[in-house]
Amino acid sequence: MVDDCGEDDSARVISELAAADDHVMPVWLTKNFGQHAATIAGMASTSYDWVVTMDEDGQHDPSSIGALLDVALANKCPLVYGREAIREPHGTLRNLMSKTVKRLVLPMLTDGKSIRYFSSFRLMTGEVARVVGAFSNHGVYLDIALSWIVRSTLTCDVVFRKELRSTSGYTWQKLFEHFIRLVLSSGTRPLRLITLIGLTSFLGGASGVVIVAFGKYFHGYNSDGWASLFTLLLTLGGLILFALGIIAEYLGVLVRRAVGVPLYVIGNDPHQGPLQKQ
């Protein structure tokens, strides 16, 4: 149990539970670093074969852990996400934005294979949890970090309980900050979009130059200047964006080093299951 220096009475409750049961291991953070940092700190402090992350608001039912484990063992999968099977947990607008990010934005930010869906209710091998906990730095989005080292993920439909608190602790500002962290953690993929836009613009401008020149000199089309100006803007604008994209690629190398993307991670034979040793 990770105490993130919240404003409630969690510290006292954790202390009492740890004193009453040796299985309870408290992790005390020095200040409120946020949910992602607290989750990663807990993952790095584990020592068992399987690790499950759960929110503190009570919507994740511990009785669903068995179902997640069954999916992981049956499919030899090192990471399984719990997915709400019945109800939508939040308001209409927030649910719509969440689905958009997970179904459209996430595949563009990752390879589209390792992670197709994510939630804060996760089951993973202890090996994956501790590796991610070791290299994740400030600003890293946890599920993006998991996608760096796992071959594939699965989902398991579970039933979420009603949250214990009446209002969500995530304001729109915090949700936007999470989205920005998600984008920045994805490495160079957003940066390469700049290069693609610039290259497309340049090719469009170059094609426009050929079309305008061909029509002017071979068919006598009257060109009052707007076509030439438009193609010139496309060409020069494309060259500028393309140059920025190349610079962004160099910055991407620094970004990968800054966020802690590992060069490699040694694991187990995937055909024998996530916990089978040689």
- In the chain, domain spans: 33-186, 189-258
Of the pLDDT bands very low, low, confident and very high (cuts 50, 70, 90), residue 278 is: very low
pTM higher than 0.85 for the full model? no
On the question of pLDDT at 169 being above 70, the answer is no
Cβ-count burial 234-243 (b if 16+ within 10 Å, e if not): bbebbbebbe
> What whole-number distance in Å separates Cα of residue 15 and Cα of residue 66?
27
- pLDDT computed for residue 124 by the predictor: 95
Q: Which two tokens stand for residue 117?
A: 């869906």
Question: What CATH class does 33-186 carry?
Answer: alpha beta
- pLDDT computed for residue 56 by the predictor: 72
On the question of pLDDT at 269 being above 60, the answer is no
On the question of pLDDT at 1 being above 60, the answer is yes
**Which of 32-36, 129-133, 170-174 has the highest average model confidence (pLDDT)?**
129-133
Of the pLDDT bands very low, low, confident and very high (cuts 50, 70, 90), residue 54 is: confident
Of the pLDDT bands very low, low, confident and very high (cuts 50, 70, 90), residue 263 is: very low
On the question of pLDDT at 268 being above 50, the answer is yes
Identify which has the larger pLDDT, 28 or 102: 28
Each residue's pLDDT tens digit, 186-227:
656 666 677 777 778 777 777 777 777 777 777 666 656 666
Report the Cα–Cα distance between both ends of the chain, in Å, rounded. 32
Task: Please give the backbone phi and psi of residue 2, each rounded to the nearest 5 degrees, phi first.
Answer: -100, 125
- pLDDT computed for residue 7 by the predictor: 77
On the question of pLDDT at 65 being above 90, the answer is yes
On the question of pLDDT at 88 being above 60, the answer is no
> What whole-number distance in Å separates Cα of residue 264 and Cα of residue 277?
19
On the question of pLDDT at 183 being above 70, the answer is no
> What whole-number distance in Å separates Cα of residue 192 and Cα of residue 140?
19
Residue type at 224 in one-letter notation: D
